[in-house]
Amino acid sequence: MATLPEVISNGELPVLDDWEPLSRKRILRYFDRSLEYADVSAYVSAQGELLPDERIILVFLNAVYTQSLATVELYCRYVVELLNYARKPSFSVTARDVESYIRQCRMKGLKPRSVNTIIGALKSYFKRLADTGAIALNPTAFIKKRKDGAGISLPGNLTHSLSESEMLLLFDRLAEHGAPRRDILLLKTLFMTGLRGEEAVSLCWKDVTVWQGQRYFNVLGKGSKERRIYLPDEIDEGLNEYGKLTGTSPNQPIFGNLRKPSRRIGRHALYHMVKKWLTTLMNRPDVSPHWFRHSCFTYLASKGVRLESIQALAGHASIDTTMLYNEAAQLMVPAGTAFNKSHSYEPIKRIE
């Protein structure tokens, strides 16, 4: 796979005093096409008409893509806005350029949370460029997000989530429609565990483990962070039944190809599966796999689960570390137990 520096070298570096504005719509069109290719870097390198910064942005967008097109569009929007504002290519942007752009965003009346979203997107972009050697210095390294006084924030974008009633209706309709057991179990797993789509399709049977008498997934998440994800009763029982049909060889993917269970499905296949069912059954073509993750956090918060527990579930902090630095007695109950019948929180209706 080509590296970012190699992708950049396939185009002429733009002249600083002759800036050609970048088009977000154009970049997103190429991004949509790139999803059809296994080797994204090769695809990007082969597009001779692309500007160098368009190549860089496309490689970055594919690297951070997690089935949420809305997130990709935001990343693209803020990076393109910054470069057009500074009238500079990525490798020439300075901390002063970034700070000036952020000040302009604040002057437009954007709320602190929106400004923090912009800062987060830019920090991700330039950190990746620095990590891959595409730029020597990260201009966002010392730019901090502002606290709005809200304390601990809930992981997940609440506007990109489905309500409890919508989730119940979806699972009812999946059963009525005769959806494959794999699809139903996979969607329930996304909702009841908060796993990222790529994390879920990467699971093998060897990743199911017993810890303190309860079953968990061992998950390797973003930044190679390991965490344990508690299996709510319904998921645990569903896995037991599903495993009897597909086999449970240690290296076999849990959510494999329907015709060849030993073959792993990719994140793009998951994305299209979610689009198919949500469009067909709920008339919601806007929903992506990442919405299930947000829906999980929203549901748990509505049932009174502590935010520290939800953050641990989300992978934004180590479970063990969270238990050490918070009220251990309360945090020893995993957030996912809110989905169980026996829990003090009202559980979601179980669908057989």
How many distinct structural domains can be found in the chain? 2
* pLDDT score at 136: 83
* pLDDT under 70: residue ranges of the chain: 1-17, 66-68, 147-159, 223, 307-308, 316-339, 341-352
Which residues form the domain of 66? 4-131
* pLDDT score at 135: 85
Q: How far is CA 2 from CA 9, 23, 53, 74, in A?
A: 11, 24, 15, 25
**293 lies in some domain:** yes
* pLDDT score at 351: 33
Structure tokens at 161: 């989530």
Q: How many CB atoms lie within 10 A of CB 344?
A: 11
* pLDDT score at 35: 86
End residue of a domain, out of 82, 115, 131: 131
DSSP state letters, 145-172: PPP-S--S--SS-GGG---HHHHHHHHH
* pLDDT score at 348: 44
* pLDDT score at 316: 59
Task: Give this prediction's pTM.
Answer: 0.52
CATH of the domain at 206: 1.10.443.10
Contact of 22 with 84, CB cutoff 8 Å: yes
**CA-derived radius of gyration, the chain:** 22
* pLDDT score at 178: 94
116 and 211 in a common domain:
no
Listed in sequence order, the DSSP H helices in the chain are 4-9, 24-34, 40-46, 52-64, 69-86, 95-107, 112-131, 164-176, 181-193, 197-201, 233-246, 267-282, 289-302, 307-314, 319-325, 328-331
* pLDDT score at 311: 73
91 and 15 in a common domain:
yes
221 and 168 in a common domain:
yes
* pLDDT score at 69: 76
218 and 321 in a common domain:
yes
**307 lies in some domain:** yes
